[in-house]
Amino acid sequence: MTETVLITGASRGIGLELTRQFAQAGARVIAACRHPERAPELNRLAADTQGRVSVQPLDVTQPAQVAALAAVMQGLALDILINNAGAFGPVAPFGETDEAAWIETFRINTVAPLKLMEALADSVAASERRLMVNMTSKMGSIADNRSGGLYIYRSTKAALNAVVASAAHDLRPRGITVVAQHPGWVRTDMGGPNGEISVQESATALRGIFARLGPDDSGRFIDIDGGDIPW
């Protein structure tokens, strides 16, 4: 049976590569991004995949666009929701944090994934896989923080991890598996040129992890090697 996968932030980086790999594997992919008209690689991919990739406009911070996407998905079974869209936010030392930018980054990294899970829960519950993946970061681990700084990014991802832990409990009765997934330190616009792995390596490893996930994994904070990251 053909899997249906919805990926946010699909116009570049990990989201684009996941879209490519899932489509090549035969999945139907709904690829969502803020500005489809500015996503030439994604549009080329959609044109080359004989209808397996459909591109949908989505600014994850806009409730009307989330509702519009949910309407598109109404009545359809969604095997995997991948909340990939995210922002790093500005980097500032202690004492110079930009409050407005911090709040906006919270909206993107923490609030939006929950609102998408809420909006698409019925579609996911109707599928075979029933999997929700939230792309987080090891930098959201409080236990793993040995260097300080990066207040905005760290706190928004730590908050996302808390959202995942709660959603895993709330959605368990519906058979939905919810996880927080670290994609590795990847060479992307966000990860920078010194990342440890390429987007291709990250996406390949991620797909391998997703294929093995089931109800017993719900609520996990998962590393790119498939192990657990301390909260």
Active site residues: 151
* DSSP single-letter state for residue 172: G
Following DSSP, what letter does each residue of 18-68 receive, concatenated?
HHHHHHHTT-EEEEEES-GGG-HHHHHHHHHTTTSEEEEE--TT-HHHHHH
Structure tokens at 32: 């969502």
CB 223 within 8 A of CB 141: no
CB 189 within 8 A of CB 1: no
Cα–Cα distance between 42 and 32 in angstroms, integer? 10
